[in-house]
Structure 1
Amino acid sequence: MQVISVSSLKGGVGKTTVTLGLASAAFALHLRTLVVDMDPQGDATTGLGVEHGTNQSIAEVLRDPRASTVETVITPSGWTQDSVDVVDVIPGSPLAVNFDEPHPKARDLWRLEEALAHVEADYDIVFIDCPPSLNALTQTAWTASDQVLIVSEPGLFSVAAAARALRAVADANAERRDGELRAAGIVINRFRPQSIEHQYRVSEIRDMFGDQVMDVQLPERSSIQQVQGAARPVHMWPGEATQDMAHLFDRLLRNLLTHS
């Protein structure tokens, strides 16, 4: 089971869009997929067609990571109502903020990894949608992960946030017992090719981070908002622009699996 955190230390860069796009690509490959919504806003949960509840959420798993709790909380997504394939979710909840202190105890960071160990045989891949900070929820997600994919957009503040995230992943790996957390790289999202500013920032990002930047660039597409509003996977949405995005998510997932 491969566990991938999707992270940004700056909000508003489309991190959840990338999480859902990757989950859709995994769904299209018939991979048994679990999405863990660590963001208290719960946007990934909504995008997967799951209603928010207070008793069945990531907050319960972090409070009590035993197998019985995990099995109760895991919910089939709305994507798979007419499918035999598996895309499940551990729903997000505003209650998760109770587990997001800035300086967590080391023993608490292992709660999600302990929880996921109970379902390791049930899934091929897990995507964790992290909140846009480096507090306990993100640290807990990274502790349970094999890779961290950093999402950035072509803007000055996002470039700085990507640099901080790369340093933070390196620091987290140094503190891990197994030393097996790696930065999968930076994926540039919401790129507008006609924007001079975006062209400049993309060039800057590639100059700064070199081969740590993914070859795949995700353009800004209004159709993605329609897909998410309908709580459907991008691979099942009609339209040339949307299917172009689906192919890009396919490439991004292949890159992650190839280097896992």
Structure 2
Amino acid sequence: MIVVAIANQKGGVGKTTTAINIATAMAATGWRTLLVDLDPQGNASTGLGIGNDQRETSSYDLLVNDATLADCTLGSAIPGLDIVPATVDLSGAEVELVSVEDRTGRLRKSLEAHHGHDICFIDCPPSLGLLTLNALGAADTLMVPLQCEFFALEGLSQLLQTVERVQQRFNPNLGIIGIVLTMFDRRNRLTDQVSDDVRDCLGPLVFESVIPRNVRLSEAPSHGMPALVYDHSCAGSRAYISLARELIGRLPERRKAA
């Protein structure tokens, strides 16, 4: 199983929307897919229609209470897509983990022992605390959603520095599979400028597929479903299908042996 963390410490960049829809797209192409919701807000869980009453065990139990991945995994309405949901308890996990031995490696241990899926996506919180460090420590690679605005570039620089520190201390094999440009609006000159700057700086690391500003993408979570199910023909859904194709082309061959 290959593990992909989806992270950006800046909020509001389309991180959870990307996690939900790229996981759905991968499941639709036949990959046995797992989504781990590591954000205390639990938006990825809500976006897949998992109600609070269904979250008896969650990613909090996985990290703090030594629950197994199988105990915490729920099926979703999307064939081939399972989820480890999040609850608000997760907001206290960082404090509880401070005194725990190997506090940055607990998620990695849980995922290493699991062989029921081909690929796992981790939706990280918008911060660089212990939860995100657990995700980066467990991940084979990192996908970074980047909103097309000026301040997002500063956040990207901080995240890249964090990745270097994680490589040095916890996970030397961590790579970056790509940067996803989100909330792309061709009517805005700044959008094109930020896009050009990112591509000039990071080159082929930036995915060709861009995620547009799209009303359907915003509406879908309120209905408890991914945009690819809510309206598979909208511009946002088509963009995520295109992104999934690119992602598959970048994933290592060993994924097929999961």
Q: If the length of structure 1 is used for normalisation, what is the TM-score?
A: 0.88
Q: Aligned runs of 1:88-167 on 2, under 5 Å? A: 88-101=82-95, 104=98, 107-119=102-114, 121-167=115-161
Is contact 1:224-1:242 (8 Å) kept? yes
Is contact 2:212-2:235 (8 Å) kept? no
Following TM superposition, by how much is the alpha carbon of 1:229 offset from its aligned partner in structure 2, in angstroms?
2.3
Following TM superposition, by how much is the alpha carbon of 1:202 offset from its aligned partner in structure 2, in angstroms?
1.2
Cα root mean square deviation, aligned:
2.2
Partner of 1:82: none
Within 1, Cα distance between the matches of 2:140 and 2:106?
A: 15
Partner of 2:8: 8
Residue type of the alignment partner of 1:186: I
Q: Deviations over 1:55-101 (max 9, x none)?
A: 4111111113343xx3222111132xxxxx32111101111111225
Within 2, Cα distance between the matches of 1:34 and 1:167?
A: 28
Within 2, Cα distance between the matches of 1:22 and 1:50?
A: 18
Within 2, Cα distance between the matches of 1:39 and 1:95?
A: 10
Within 1, Cα distance between the matches of 2:97 and 2:56?
A: 26
Whether 2:23 is the aligned partner of 1:30: answer no
Following TM superposition, by how much is the alpha carbon of 1:102 offset from its aligned partner in structure 2, in angstroms?
11
Q: Aligned runs of 1:188-203 on 2, under 5 Å? A: 188-203=181-196
Aligned pair in 2 of structure 1 residues 169, 103: CA closer, same or farther (>3 Å)?
farther
Long gaps (5+) in structure 1: 80-84
Within 2, Cα distance between the matches of 1:124 and 1:21?
A: 17
Residue type of the alignment partner of 1:114: K
Q: Aligned runs of 1:110-259 on 2, under 5 Å? A: 110-119=105-114, 121-176=115-170, 179-236=172-229, 237-257=231-251
Partner of 1:46: 46
Q: Deviations over 1:88-124 (max 9, x none)?
A: 11101111111225994661111111112332x2000
Following TM superposition, by how much is the alpha carbon of 1:214 offset from its aligned partner in structure 2, in angstroms?
2.0
Q: Deviations over 1:134-184 (max 9, x none)?
A: 10000001111101111111111111111111121121011136x211112
Partner of 2:70: 71
Is contact 1:102-1:135 (8 Å) kept? no
SS at match of 2:39: coil
Partner of 1:62: 63
**Bigger Cα displacement from structure 2, 235-244 vs 51-60:** 235-244
Following TM superposition, by how much is the alpha carbon of 1:251 offset from its aligned partner in structure 2, in angstroms?
2.8
Is contact 2:36-2:85 (8 Å) kept? yes
Number of aligned residue pairs:
251
Percent identity between matched residues is 27
Following TM superposition, by how much is the alpha carbon of 1:41 offset from its aligned partner in structure 2, in angstroms?
0.5
Within 2, Cα distance between the matches of 1:103 and 1:160?
A: 29
Long gaps (5+) in structure 2: none
Q: Deviations over 1:14-57 (max 9, x none)?
A: 10011011111111111111100000000000111111256411
Following TM superposition, by how much is the alpha carbon of 1:225 offset from its aligned partner in structure 2, in angstroms?
1.8
Aligned pair in 2 of structure 1 residues 249, 215: CA closer, same or farther (>3 Å)?
closer
Residue type of the alignment partner of 2:176: A
Residue type of the alignment partner of 1:153: Q
